[in-house]
Amino acid sequence: MRKPKVFITRLIPREGIDLLKETCEVEINPQDRPLHREELLAQVADKDGVIGMLSDRIDAEFFDAAKALRGYANFAVGFDNIDVAEATRRNMPVSNTPGVLTQATAELAWALLFAVARRIVETDRIMRSGAWPGLGPLQFIGADVSGKTLGIVGGGRIGTAMALMSKGFQMRVLYTNTSGKENQTLQAELRARLVSLDELLAESDFISIHTPLTPATRHLFKAETFARMKPAAILINTARGPIIKEDDLVAALGSRTIAGAGLDVYEFEPQMTAGLADLNNAVVVPHIGSATSSSRAGMSLLAARNLLAMLQGEKPESCLNPEIYA
């Protein structure tokens, strides 16, 4: 029997590749960069299954080009790169990788929060430059974290994990949820309060974004939003870049409308908006939320298991359009 042909759009950790190779013919993008659109469309023309990255747009044009496709597995939990409605219309199963990167992403949110609050990157630069004149009582004053108010925008898996990690810092936790439903874990463990975005903006000392990118959350944070935050507030984004209107953020950080920001994701990834790199009150890292060995290995295995299930006509573990199996 012919082995199914699988294409992986970037080299991923070997765990998933090894699993796929047991039963499939596996081809991997040999370049250490995302494929250009034409390269991607040409590569998928004869493939039964594809594992792709969030930089790959999975839409009607992709499905038209992938004529033999029986399933698409995203190597990411976020899936704003996939036109799920279009996939469903075509009866094409699509999947993502939830769960395996929850702790790693929540930990990165905390790393950014502390880096901004305690000016870690700015002061590291000063040490390396040799410009530190020695300890001074008025130098490099940062923000306290313990006892402050943490606002979680999006109390899903990663938002919940991030909030739970605040326990050691005795913080008051507020959160919003797109479902409008109370999060029982946050309620029970932290006595966290489900609030409106307005209340969260007005009350929080730290705001961490964990909501998916949708038409409703695109530019949720813009000039008007920053104006409603405390001037001492610090904003953290490990979710998706376009949730923040980045030129408004540059202006708000520059004018000290808000005190700081820690960013893992960018509106026009991989580019940063002009001016952001010059701001000492911004800490910027290159989309490394899930970049730990166990998370990436977990993503690799989960994406492979999802794809194998789809190739066998079965519902994958983390299916984005389960209704097609009904």
Q: Which residues are catalytic?
A: 240, 269, 287
CB of 275 to ligand DGY, least distance (A): 24
Between 76 and 252, whose beta carbon lies closer to ligand DGY? 76
CB 195 within 8 A of CB 174: yes
The stretch among 41-49, 76-84, 157-165, 243-251 that binds ligand DGY (CB under 6 A) is 76-84
78 vs 156 by CB, closer to ligand DGY: 78
| 160 alpha-carbon distance from chain centroid | 14
Q: What is the largest CA-CA distance in the chain?
A: 75
Can you read off the two tokens belonging to residue 81?
A: 């790169």
Closest CA to 236 of 305, 177, 289: 289
Strands 193-194 and 172-176: parallel
Considering only residues 146 to 165 of the shown chain, the ones binding ligand DGY according to CB under 6 A are none
Q: Choose the binding region for ligand DGY from 30-38, 59-67, 73-81, 277-285 (rule: CB under 6 A).
A: 73-81
Q: Which residue has the tokens 């990788």?
A: 97
**What does the alpha-carbon distance between residue 188 and residue 8 come to, in Å, rounded to a whole number?**
42
Helices and strands (H, E) in the chain, number of each type? 12, 12
Options 19, 69, 77, 303; binder of ligand DGY; rule CB under 6 A? 77
For ligand DGY, the closer of residues 58 and 190 by Cβ is: 58
Options 17, 35, 76, 201; binder of ligand DGY; rule CB under 6 A: 76
Buried-state track 17-46, b at ≥16 Cβ within 10 A, e below 16: bebbeeebebeebeeeebbeeeebeebbee
CA distance 225 to 237: 14
CB of 58 to ligand DGY, least distance (A): 14
Strand order in the sheet with 71-74: 25-28, 5-8, 49-52, 71-74, 94-95
Whole-angstrom CA distances from 17 to 7, 8, 79, 299, 306 are 10, 9, 21, 11, 13
Q: Which 237-256 positions form the footprint of ligand DGY (CB under 6 A)?
A: none
Among the residue ranges 58-66, 71-79, 193-201, 310-318, the one whose residues contact ligand DGY (CB under 6 A) = 71-79
Q: Do residues 221 and 235 touch, judged by C-beta distance below 8 A?
A: yes
The span of 25-33, 75-83, 166-174, 306-314 binding ligand DGY (CB under 6 A) equals 75-83
Task: Select 104 or 253, whichever has its Cβ closest to ligand DGY.
Answer: 104
Least distance (Å) from ligand DGY to the CB of residue 223? Answer: 26
For ligand DGY, the binding residues in 78-137 under the rule CB under 6 A are 78, 101
Q: Among residues 175 and 266, whose Cβ is nearest to ligand DGY?
A: 266
Q: Which is nearer to ligand DGY, 257 or 290 (CB)?
A: 290
* Site membership for ligand DGY, residue 290 (CB under 6 A): yes
CA angle (213, 215, 219) in 5-degree steps: 70
Show the site string, 31-60: x = touches ligand DGY by CB under 6 A, - = not: -----------------------x------
Binding site for ligand DGY (CB under 6 A): 54, 76-78, 101, 289-290
